[in-house]
Amino acid sequence: MKRREFVAATVRGMASIVAGGSVQAQEKAVAPFTLANLPYAFDALEPYIDKMTMEIHHGKHHAAYVNNLNNATKGTETKSLEDILAGVSKLSPVIRNNSGGHWNHTAFWNWMKPKGGGQPGSELATAITRDFGSFDKFKEQFGQAATGRFGSGWAWLIKQHDKLVIASTPNQDNPLMDIADVKGVPVLGLDVWEHAYYLKYQNRRADFVQAWWNVVNWDEVGKRFVNAK
């Protein structure tokens, strides 16, 4: 390998670590919080999620959550993102909305990948069949949580002790927050805010949910399932 190729390969390798492997690091990170690059190109999830939606969603919406969270936590006690979520009931609504927005979107980008979809790996597949009856029944229930969430929010697959549970939360709340009705470790989540789908699907949230299964990164979901405590 020529030196120039070696340098290029090293830079690509570092970029993939920063972009793709830093989700858990971000959850433990303290202010100032940062917006990581997407782990793929903006058009990589086409035709299921269009390039412009991804550009605005990541570069405007997620970026705003990060900026707002940094502004709102300036001068306050230094806490990691996950510690903020765990004690969010004692913090301001601005911190609640933007810490959730940052955590949720960081995970969301990594719960998707180009040429995703298919089926979960064996350990998670076994748990899904045990707790929902079958993979198809799980998809149906998760889809109902996603389409049934009134207004803006998220649908979740959560690990609660050793059981998998489906839930949904309003706004940017999530199951790691102490104020959540259903608490647990999110294994998979779907953003059903209109900003996630409106340009391509307009009001047809159910069509977006259906299409989204084609980009789910089951490797990442499986890892989260195994690592969830």
Residue among 191 and 220 whose Cβ is closer to Fe ion: 191
Given phi > 0 = left and psi -120 to 50 = alpha, else beta, which region is 107? alpha
What residues between 195 and 224 interact with Fe ion by CB under 5 A?
196
Closest by Cα among 227, 120, 86, 225 to 163: 225
Residue among 127 and 167 whose Cβ is closer to Fe ion: 167
Q: How far is the CB of 61 from Fe ion (least distance, A)?
A: 5
- Axis-axis angle for helices 122-132, 218-227 (nearest 10): 80
Q: How far is the CB of 13 from Fe ion (least distance, A)?
A: 29
Contact pick of 191, 205, 212, 222 for Fe ion (by CB under 5 A): 191
Altogether, the residues listed in the chain come to a count of 229
Residue among 173 and 191 whose Cβ is closer to Fe ion: 191
Count of chain residues binding Fe ion (CB under 5 A): 3
Q: How far is the CB of 105 from Fe ion (least distance, A)?
A: 6
Residue among 103 and 193 whose Cβ is closer to Fe ion: 193
Q: How far is the CB of 196 from Fe ion (least distance, A)?
A: 5
> For Fe ion, which stretch binds (CB under 5 A), given 38-46, 127-135, 147-155, 185-193?
185-193
Does residue 173 touch Fe ion according to CB under 5 A? no
Q: How far is the CB of 162 from Fe ion (least distance, A)?
A: 30
C-alpha to C-alpha distance for 104 and 113, rounded to whole angstroms: 16
State the burial class of residue 3 (Cβ atoms within 10 Å of its Cβ: 0-12, 13-18, 19+): exposed
Instruction: Indicate the residue whose CB is closest to Fe ion.
Output: 191
C-alpha to C-alpha distance for 13 and 17, rounded to whole angstroms: 6
Residue among 62 and 159 whose Cβ is closer to Fe ion: 62
Give the strand pairing for 163-170 and 185-191: unpaired
Closest by Cα among 81, 78, 106, 70 to 27: 81
Residues of this chain that bind Fe ion (CB under 5 A) = 191, 193, 196
